[in-house]
Structure 1
Amino acid sequence: MRNGEPQDGKHDAYQDFLTDISGQFGGRDEEKDFLHGISSESPQEDIRVNVGERLKAVRKDRNLSLTDVAQRTDLAVSLLEDIESGELTPPLGTVIKLAKALDLKMGYFISGEDNLPHTIVRKHDRKVISRYDSHKGKHYGYGYESLAPQKKDRHMEPFLVTLAPSETEEERSTHDGQEFIFVLEGRMEVRLGAEIHILEPGDSIYYDSTVPHLVKCGGETETSILAVLYSER
């Protein structure tokens, strides 16, 4: 998927990720119990993060018009309007693009100002950023939950991501940084450059986000992954 919605309104199944848990367990049974515990239960509260409000606030604070932001990001003005109005919760690729264009950390749009030396996120406190949003007849087919909001000066953004089977038109994404993905449940397809890889539970992949890539559900049931985005900012 691209850094955001292309001008013609096409969407793909997903676009963002990372996190490593290897070496943290005494055996495979312990690892299995841990992975099942974090992936089998949804947060008790569906805490929606209003990215649109934060985008609008920073845009007005800098005296920028929607056209100014559109020119900096190559996103359609209509898409930005939908984000600011709350009609559309943007995919992570769009958030990355907005953050870079506005010289902000990606985490600003997810958790606001980051000001804590460390963060602990309890299972019932995970923030749901998006869940299977639809926009003008296009189904996004994924939801993601922030696992490390408000950590000061962080360069990594970890997420728990659920990918749903999707038949939407697929396009590759490119953006700054690196990504690590660990498959928790289900089957995942990764298209990286000219290569296509199928990953199963327990498999992982690490790549540069500057390489055109697409991550999607690779089967007929949902796929859960632990994903981490790394950025120099």
Structure 2
Amino acid sequence: MQDNLAQIPGRIKELREIMEISAMDMAADIDVPYETYSRYESGELDIPISVLYKVANRLETDTTVLLTGEDPRMDTAGVCRAGKGVQIERYPGYEFSSLAYNFKGRTMEPLLVSLDPNKKTAAPVTHSGQEFNYVLEGVVKVTVNKREYLLEAGDSIYFNALLPHAQSAVKVPSKFITIIQE
């Protein structure tokens, strides 16, 4: 997937240019400082998943197109076999696997997230919509607006994603399902 990661900024730039949107306008449209956006598009800075959603929305495309270079194909049902989701590591120790990448017109984004407790915790993020996390394995610390929740396998949390939030594994590798609705 590292090859795909390296190609994301180029896909964004190409689609932006096709749509005749300046880099400055794109930065303003997705509410990111121009200097930061410029570093995303040049590949100097990793693009947070929440920003990928904003970019895809502004470019009137699916996040799958940005991640893989391919359009989703399914419109009745999309099956994702075990271990076959589109994987992307956005932050050290924080790996996403898109579980519905091949379904057209998604209104929510289900992701399998694997966390490594030995890696640095990602900074809190915000994005529009709501988010649901369901812990499958391990213990996950979910921080929402500075309040911490320790969740074990079988526990879940639903929250307003406009609030700063982050997840981290506690002592052991952990996995959870997150469903993000923009």
Q: TM-score, normalised by structure 2?
A: 0.79
Deviating 4+ runs (over 3 angstroms): 45-50, 76-89, 100-108, 165-171
Partner of 1:128: 87
**Which among 106, 131, 149 is matched to residue 179 of structure 1?**
131
Counterpart residue identity of residue 80, structure 1:
Y
Per the TM alignment, residue 48 of structure 1 is displaced from its structure 2 partner at its CA by 3.2
**Which among 143, 147, 150 is matched to residue 102 of structure 2?**
150
Partner of 2:10: 53
Q: State the identity %.
A: 30
Counterpart residue identity of residue 179, structure 1:
E
**Which among 112, 122, 141 is matched to residue 160 of structure 1?**
112
Q: Are the counterparts in 1 of residues 129 and 181 from structure 2 also a CA contact under 8 Å?
A: yes
Q: TM-score, normalised by structure 1?
A: 0.64
Q: Distance in 1 between matches of 2:107 and 2:156?
A: 20
- What secondary structure is seen at the aligned counterpart in 2 of 1:125? coil
Counterpart residue identity of residue 72, structure 2:
D
Q: Which runs of 5+ in 2 are unaligned?
A: none
Q: Which has the higher contact order (CA 8 A, sep 6+)?
A: 1
Partner of 2:123: 170
Counterpart residue identity of residue 89, structure 2:
S
Q: How many residues align?
A: 178
Superposed counterparts of 1:196-207, under 5 Å? 196-207=148-159
- What secondary structure is seen at the aligned counterpart in 2 of 1:56? helix
Partner of 1:116: 74
Q: Are the counterparts in 2 of residues 51 and 89 from structure 1 also a CA contact under 8 Å?
A: no
Q: Which runs of 5+ in 1 are unaligned?
A: 1-44, 133-139
Partner of 2:49: 92
Q: 1:47 to 1:123 in 2, by over 3 A?
A: farther
- What secondary structure is seen at the aligned counterpart in 2 of 1:162? strand
Q: Distance in 2 between matches of 1:116 and 1:100?
A: 19
Counterpart residue identity of residue 113, structure 2:
V
Q: 1:222 to 1:87 in 2, by over 3 A?
A: farther
Name the Cα RMSD after superposition. Answer: 2.7
Q: Are the counterparts in 2 of residues 156 and 229 from structure 1 also a CA contact under 8 Å?
A: yes
Q: Distance in 2 between matches of 1:96 and 1:88?
A: 16
